[in-house]
A and B are shown apart, each in its own frame.
Chain A
């Protein structure tokens, strides 16, 4: 499945190029962060990688072959919560894998222990706080042992302590051997979590370097401006 090679990937619904020739290679471990202005196409890129959206051009090679049937998971910014218990929600990811109900619950309980939500197992999932829902969604994905985990702004609108908790879980999932590709707008988070950083603007990868290097010596002008918080709004779009 690795390395994942993205070549000339474009997404242009109604002739408006959202992604315009994205090239990127992902090795088999670590956490890669995607940064970029609103509307740069970060979410679209994740959606293409997990098969929800068809690109209009370009290709993705998964270790030389097609995208494997299993092994790619994605956690959305507002994860779905079934009107059921926390345990039922976390165990849900195992349903399509044909795991028996009792075993699903056992494994669900084990992963709830690891994310510190075991004491809420019987509570109603839709009533969890935003941070707890995000942790639950991470656990739900983690439970399926994905090779690649895609995270779309998992800590947007979370307070600092909830953010720290989510970051701890993300690190633990990485240590467990899952490759992580994650979108964030939080530059502090990028320095804390990212092994390397992909900077996306104007539908292209402007820069893909190690985190240290990205913040100390960005090579592209767009990245420099973005870090300084001065990226003009129109750079994210393409007329």
Chain B
């Protein structure tokens, strides 16, 4: 039974089963979208926390660090409340759509990406602050300059966000509803197929998930390696 499960899983992958491909593609779109938004919001947010001088800065940093480990089901429930028919954003009819899943995952990855970005940018800011001040950089110019300078180190933040988004189940399950051919992604499919007893499909999806994450990490590693050689 154990070995046959794996043989069947490989068979599913080898034939590029349409169901599998569809689920993988949706996963990539949803998590990719969330990480894209997370990059646009989380990284500048982290850099602002590193550079800015404003009251409550420490509190904000603690908050962001704390929210890093936010359980995905909690994010799912909160987004659900906002998007449900009676919720404040219910009118948009987003619940149980991929858009809702992107929103939930974006909220999930922002604190993680911001916290990493803050750490990375803060170290560099310590070294650059005086010279940027002499050149009369305002805080926003400093933020953009530092983000650019740290672009390769910040890949770590992007990867961490992608890893978090691709591997979470709770949020997409709640706001997406795991609807076949509509909102079913790899993690929710794995959970469902396992509970139904369709282990080959669950294993096949699991292998694809791990493979994608490994590939992305290898890519990032190569890019950082190249950057280190170029910029020392």
Q: Which residues of A contact B (CB under 8 A)?
A: 47, 50-52, 69-70, 72-74, 76, 79-80, 82-84, 92-93, 95-96, 124, 126-127, 144
Asked if residues A52 and B231 are in contact (CB atoms below 8 Å), the reply is no
The complex places the Cα of A70 from the Cα of B127 at a distance, in Å, of: 22
| B133 adjacent to A96 (CB under 8 Å) | no
Minimum C-beta distance from B196 to chain A (A): 51
Are B148 and A93 within 8 A (Cβ)?
A: no
Q: Is the CB of A73 within 8 A of B134?
A: yes
Please name all residues of chain A whose beta carbon is closer than 8 Å to the beta carbon of B137 when the two chains form the complex.
Answer: 95-96
The 8 Å CB contact of A76, one of B130, B151, B152, B232, is B130
28 contacts between A and B (CB under 8 A): A51-B133, A51-B134, A52-B130, A52-B134, A70-B136, A72-B134, A73-B135, A74-B131, A76-B130, A79-B131, A80-B131, A82-B148, A83-B149, A83-B150, A83-B151, A83-B152, A83-B231, A84-B149, A84-B231, A92-B145, A95-B141, A95-B145, A96-B136, A96-B138, A96-B141, A124-B231, A124-B232, A144-B135
CA distance A76 to B127 in the complex (A): 12
Could you say which residues of chain A place their CB within 8 Å of the CB of B138?
Answer: 96
B128 contacts the other chain (CB 8 A): yes
- Contacts A96-B136, A96-B138, A124-B232 supplied; 5 other A-B pairs, CB < 8 Å: A73-B135, A83-B152, A92-B135, A95-B135, A127-B231
Chain A residue, CB-CB nearest to B153: A83
Q: Which of B127, B130, B152 has the most CB of A within 10 A?
A: B130
A93 with B149: in contact, given A83-B227, A124-B232 (CB under 8 Å)? no
Assuming the A-B contacts A96-B141, A124-B231, are A84 and B135 also in contact, with contact meaning beta carbons closer than 8 angstroms in the complex? no
Q: Shortest distance in angstroms between A144's beta carbon and chain B's nearest beta carbon?
A: 7
Closest CB in chain B relative to A1 CB, distance in Å: 15
Q: Which among A69, A76, A80, A124 has the highest number of chain B CB atoms within 10 Å? A: A80
The answer, among A69, A84, A126, for a CB contact under 8 Å with B136, is A69
A80 and B128 contact, Cβ closer than 8 Å, known pairs A126-B231, A127-B231: yes
Looking at the assembled complex, report how far the CB atom of A209 sits from the nearest CB atom of chain B, in whole angstroms.
29
The 4 closest A-B pairs by CB, nearest first: A83-B231, A126-B232, A96-B136, A82-B149
Residues of B contacting A124 in the complex (Cβ-Cβ under 8 angstroms): 230-232
List residues of B (173-232) whose CB comes within 8 Å of A's CBs.
227, 230-232
Bound-state Cα–Cα, A79 to B135, Å: 12
Give min CB distance, B64 to chain A, whole Å: 25
Q: Which residues of B sit under 8 angstroms from A127, Cβ to Cβ? A: 230-232
List chain B residues, Cβ under 8 A from A92. Answer: 135, 145
What's the Cα separation between A144 and B231 when bound, in Å? 25
Residues of B within 8 A of A93 (CB): 135
A72–B130 CA distance with the chains assembled, in angstroms: 13
Asked if residues B232 and A50 are in contact (CB atoms below 8 Å), the reply is no
Q: Compute how far the CA of A44 lies from the CA of B72 in the bound complex, rounded to whole angstroms.
A: 51
Please measure, in the bound complex, the distance between the C-alpha atom of A47 and the C-alpha atom of B230, giving whole angstroms.
33
CB distance from A53 to the nearest CB of B (A): 10
- B125–chain A nearest beta-carbon distance, Å: 11
* Residues A96 and B135 in contact in the complex (CB < 8 Å), given A83-B149, A83-B152: yes
Residues of chain A within 8 A (CB-CB) of B232 are 124, 126-127
**Which residue of chain A lies nearest to B150 when distances are taken between CB atoms in the complex?**
A83
- For A47, list chain B residues within 8 Å (CB): 130
List chain B residues, Cβ under 8 A from A95: 135, 137, 141, 145
